[in-house]
Structure 1
Amino acid sequence: MRLPGRLAAAIEVLTDVETRKRPVSEALKAWGLNNRFAGAGDRAAIGNLVYDALRRRASHAFAMGSDSPRALILAVAMRDWGEMPETLNAAFADDAHAPDALSAEEAAGATTDMSGAPAAVRADFPEWLAPSLERGLGADWVAEGHTMAGRPSLDLRANALKASPEKVMKSLARFSPQPTTIAPFGITMPAGPRDARTPNVTTDEGYQKGWFEVQDQGSQIVAALAGAREGEQVLDLCAGAGGKTLALAATMGNKGQIFAYDADRSRLAPIYERLKRNAVRNAQVRAPQPGALDDLVGKMDRVVVDAPCTGTGTWRRRPDTKWKLTPELLAQRQSEQAALLVEAARYLKPGGTLVYITCSILPEENDDQVAAFLAAYPGFETMDMAKAWRSALITDLPQGLATPGGGICLTPHRTNTDGFYCHLLRNKG
């Protein structure tokens, strides 16, 4: 397929997303099944066009004077991919599968001046969240939004139980991997431009042998900040598919015990195969059932709460969720988080550490939650995050990451990671 056909296909997919309210991944898969002539490169390019359109939906709609799928995809072609309107029209005229020719108004969108656009539009954030994001991210919140509207890198974590980062990078040399800047076992492959394809590393023999896992550098950092040590008793209360459980096991050198639990049985399903492939021997999966964790009450050295959240920190990877978030969903997540903090406290022994993590950049889910918990439970205190950072990552805490409430917040703009929050609380006993 040539670019005109890819643009037409992207418009079709985005229209399907908009009209049927379905996830982008589902719409792209359905298009691929219905158009089997399209090769892997075509599907990657179409996916990039759709995701890029959603990442910058607000600013592209402002520039084009329309938020229709056609306007958004054409904006990506002109404003992100550098295509000139006259070049596009010439290509459209020579391709039977092309969209209709650009109108004069659409062509003008290529050079729209954004300086007069509202701040939330320039940041590509939902307008109703602007006060919260400004409070949480500070004066640079528009720049933060601009970076968050970019493409994410592909990050991996070398499994210290089986391989070194150097061994993994040698195995993946064909993809030009690089060490991450912060996470000590991290490897990254920056996103490419335009129709660049993301490397399929899960077919590599190193992945099959458990040498590495796909894990954003931010997730690796907060897992390291949890501070798990050899011989400890650790509860991963929201283990999900087990990404942080695997990282904790590697940090602990397979010594001690990790109890991996999640209230959603289906989310736990992948963890069994992943534990085996990664040669993790100190993790015990606890399936959700009445009394599943009763024997752990008051006995844990560390409880990790990777709380369910709005996922605002992952908007680069799931941009469609950025525009679906509602005040009602935020309130629901806040209620769940507050309950989980109380639940987690039950399992800690005196002197134990509660590790609160979200993949959110909203203060309502981060500092505000911790402040409310501390007000209700004065037997806990905030731990020194700068000290924890130095201990876990062997560097000083970079400026700008500490939050007013005593946690840390990672963002694409600050750390070239997904957005993550981490706060350590000690049970004073």
Structure 2
Amino acid sequence: MPQSDPAHCSDAVPAGTGRSFRLVCPARDIPLVEALLAATGHRGAPEPFSPCCRRLADEPTPLGSSLAARFGYIHIQDRSSMLPPLLLDPPAGARVLDMCAAPGGKTGFLAQLVGPTGFVLGNEPSPDRLATLRQTLLRENLANTATCAQTDLSPFFPEGAFTHILLDPPCSGWGTLDKNPQAARIWSGDKVAPLIALQRKLLETAARLLVPGGRLLYSTCTTNVVENEDQTRFALDHLPLAPLPLTPPEGFVFEAPHRDDVSGVLRVDSRASAAQGFYMALYEKTGGAAAADEADGELPGTPVPEKALVASGCDLAGLPPGKVMAFGDKAFFLHAGAAAIPAGLRYQGHQVGTYRAGVFRPQARARLFLSREAQGAGLNEEALCRIEALLAGQSLPAGDLPARPGLFFRGLPLGFLARKGARLLWSDR
């Protein structure tokens, strides 16, 4: 196996420097989210490759149980796993497909990168993993997404339906041996053959669904050359894809490619980068056709009237383009980008609450309906003691607050409280 090539290195990170996480918020809210972390004693050091990524520096209690994690303002993620969305680099407003999306870290990062006017469809064939994907996007209030569960998307979408595609297919996981020591034994020898066949089928589908000039980022968390460089060679030899050389991000060390006829790809040196082993290759589609623009198509469901949303205490000013639609008693926000999803594909938008007998009730975590400007009609706390009391099941005096007031930490929206008589309660229901 080739040794690390200094030409592919950039600012090596010492091994054993701790976990990483991503701030899930607009740039203007980063100081507030860091203040929420600091209030529980957690601190992250900035990563050099993205302004919203951090390496954990102080962890007095498990980061995953912190209030910032509970309210969806951080996503714990291996630093290598942060790279595929960054290297795909979809612009604001892009229409993106994440073909194998669970558990949702990359899908969520893509949603942050494309912004409110962009749209990300996360596909996950496994029902169990699909539930995890949806819970992640729901907790982090990433409403410019939708999810579906198809083993093959080809029958549903015309050629050239997406400008950007991320394909992080099932792989042997040899780059995660520190967390999954059995991976090399489970996926050894000929046992990896079904994965190789699946990866090639997914590459073929991705190439068809890209618009001409569209970009595909292929990534794996394995060090296995047959799933990495060999698949790159397959894509270049058999699919309408041209290579786009990747610029090494700062803060990582990269090995040289493990085939002499493959270049411009990135292979993370796990030990030197204090991260999982990852492989990434970027392609551009050559030729083909673009799908007709169907952005003006109809969204499914029954529209929830705006007056019902406002009456429930929702501030609609900060919503992405789209509509709140009812399906039975459940209400979902459907991004305008979902209008281009073909009618035959079953998908789910972003669940935001219930709608019964003309009354909309936002779920507690639907902070997308809260803005800093609305904090005057809610409970805005400077310290955590009363917030922690609410989460522990205690109640607080309601005063003259409305029936469904917002809960804020120094102006940072956390969610909706419920009023019961003269008391305020937190309920995840």
Q: What is the TM-score when the length of structure 1 is the normalising length?
A: 0.58
Partner residue in 1 for 2:269:
411
- SS of 2:107's equivalent in the other structure is helix
Partner residue in 1 for 2:279:
421
- SS of 2:90's equivalent in the other structure is coil
Identity %: 24
More strand by share: 2
Matching residue's letter, 2:277: G
Residue 333 (structure 1) aligned with residue 200 (structure 2): no
What displacement does 1:165 show? 5.0
Q: CA 1:290 to 1:216, structure 2 compared with 1: closer, same or farther past 3 Å?
A: closer
What displacement does 1:257 show? 1.6
Q: CA 1:422 to 1:341, structure 2 compared with 1: closer, same or farther past 3 Å?
A: same
RMSD (CA atoms): 3.0
Q: Which runs of 5+ in 1 are unaligned?
A: 1-133, 141-146, 192-196
Q: In 1, Cα distance between the equivalents of 2:73 and 2:22? A: 9
Q: 1:353 aligns with which of 196, 215, 231?
A: 215
What displacement does 1:323 show? 4.2
Q: In 2, Cα distance between the equivalents of 1:419 and 1:323? A: 17
Kindly indicate whether the alpha-carbon contact (under 8 Å) linking 1:164 and 1:185 is maintained by their aligned counterparts in 2: no
Matching residue's letter, 2:243: T
Q: In 1, Cα distance between the equivalents of 2:28 and 2:181? A: 33
Written as runs of structure 1 = structure 2, the 5 A alignment for 1:277-292 is 277-288=139-150
Matching residue's letter, 2:271: H
Matching residue's letter, 2:224: L
Residue 381 (structure 1) aligned with residue 242 (structure 2): yes
Could you report, residue by residue, the CA deviation over 1:388-412 in whole angstroms, capped at 9, with x for unpaired residues?
Answer: x5xxx6x6x9774563522111132
Matching residue's letter, 1:185: C
Q: 2:171 aligns with which of 286, 302, 309?
A: 309
Q: What is the TM-score when the length of structure 2 is the normalising length?
A: 0.58
Partner residue in 1 for 2:418:
none
What displacement does 1:356 show? 0.4
Q: In 2, Cα distance between the equivalents of 1:222 and 1:289? A: 22
Q: CA 1:306 to 1:152, structure 2 compared with 1: closer, same or farther past 3 Å?
A: farther
Q: CA 1:310 to 1:203, structure 2 compared with 1: closer, same or farther past 3 Å?
A: same
What displacement does 1:190 show? 6.2
What displacement does 1:258 show? 1.1
- SS of 2:121's equivalent in the other structure is strand
Q: 1:156 aligns with which of 10, 17, 21?
A: 21
Kindly indicate whether the alpha-carbon contact (under 8 Å) linking 2:91 and 2:113 is maintained by their aligned counterparts in 1: yes
Q: CA 1:296 to 1:237, structure 2 compared with 1: closer, same or farther past 3 Å?
A: farther
More helix by share: 1
Q: Which runs of 5+ in 2 are unaligned?
A: 7-12, 288-429
Q: CA 1:384 to 1:228, structure 2 compared with 1: closer, same or farther past 3 Å?
A: same
Q: In 2, Cα distance between the equivalents of 1:367 and 1:255? A: 35
Written as runs of structure 1 = structure 2, the 5 A alignment for 1:8-47 is none
What displacement does 1:251 show? 0.7
Partner residue in 1 for 2:232:
370
Q: 1:297 aligns with which of 156, 159, 172?
A: 159
- SS of 2:222's equivalent in the other structure is coil
Q: In 2, Cα distance between the equivalents of 1:271 and 1:235? A: 14
- SS of 1:246's equivalent in the other structure is helix
Kindly indicate whether the alpha-carbon contact (under 8 Å) linking 2:96 and 2:119 is maintained by their aligned counterparts in 1: yes
Partner residue in 2 for 1:241:
103
Written as runs of structure 1 = structure 2, the 5 A alignment for 1:255-266 is 255-266=117-128
Q: In 1, Cα distance between the equivalents of 2:226 and 2:268? A: 16
Kindly indicate whether the alpha-carbon contact (under 8 Å) linking 2:153 and 2:205 is maintained by their aligned counterparts in 1: no
Q: CA 1:364 to 1:425, structure 2 compared with 1: closer, same or farther past 3 Å?
A: same
Written as runs of structure 1 = structure 2, the 5 A alignment for 1:4-403 is 134-135=1-2, 137=3, 153-161=18-26, 166-173=31-38, 174-189=41-56, 199-288=61-150, 294-377=156-239, 379-386=240-247, 400-401=254-255, 403=257
Q: In 2, Cα distance between the equivalents of 1:318 and 1:169? A: 31
Matching residue's letter, 2:52: F
Kindly indicate whether the alpha-carbon contact (under 8 Å) linking 1:183 and 1:217 is maintained by their aligned counterparts in 2: no
Kindly indicate whether the alpha-carbon contact (under 8 Å) linking 1:357 and 1:420 is maintained by their aligned counterparts in 2: yes
Q: In 2, Cα distance between the equivalents of 1:291 and 1:238? A: 11
Could you report, residue by residue, the CA deviation over 1:368-400 in whole angstroms, capped at 9, with x for unpaired residues?
Answer: 1110121112x31001212xx5xxx6x6x9774
Could you report, residue by residue, the CA deviation over 1:79-122 in whole angstroms, capped at 9, with x for unpaired residues?
Answer: xxxxxxxxxxxxxxxxxxxxxxxxxxxxxxxxxxxxxxxxxxxx
Q: In 2, Cα distance between the equivalents of 1:238 and 1:345? A: 15
Matching residue's letter, 1:428: T
Q: In 2, Cα distance between the equivalents of 1:221 and 1:309? A: 17
Kindly indicate whether the alpha-carbon contact (under 8 Å) linking 2:23 and 2:73 is maintained by their aligned counterparts in 1: yes
- SS of 1:177's equivalent in the other structure is strand
Q: In 2, Cα distance between the equivalents of 1:414 and 1:351? A: 35
Q: How many residues align?
A: 275
Matching residue's letter, 2:72: G
400-409 or 222-231: bigger deviation: 400-409
- SS of 1:189's equivalent in the other structure is strand
Q: In 1, Cα distance between the equivalents of 2:29 and 2:181? A: 33
Partner residue in 2 for 1:54:
none
Q: CA 1:399 to 1:186, structure 2 compared with 1: closer, same or farther past 3 Å?
A: closer
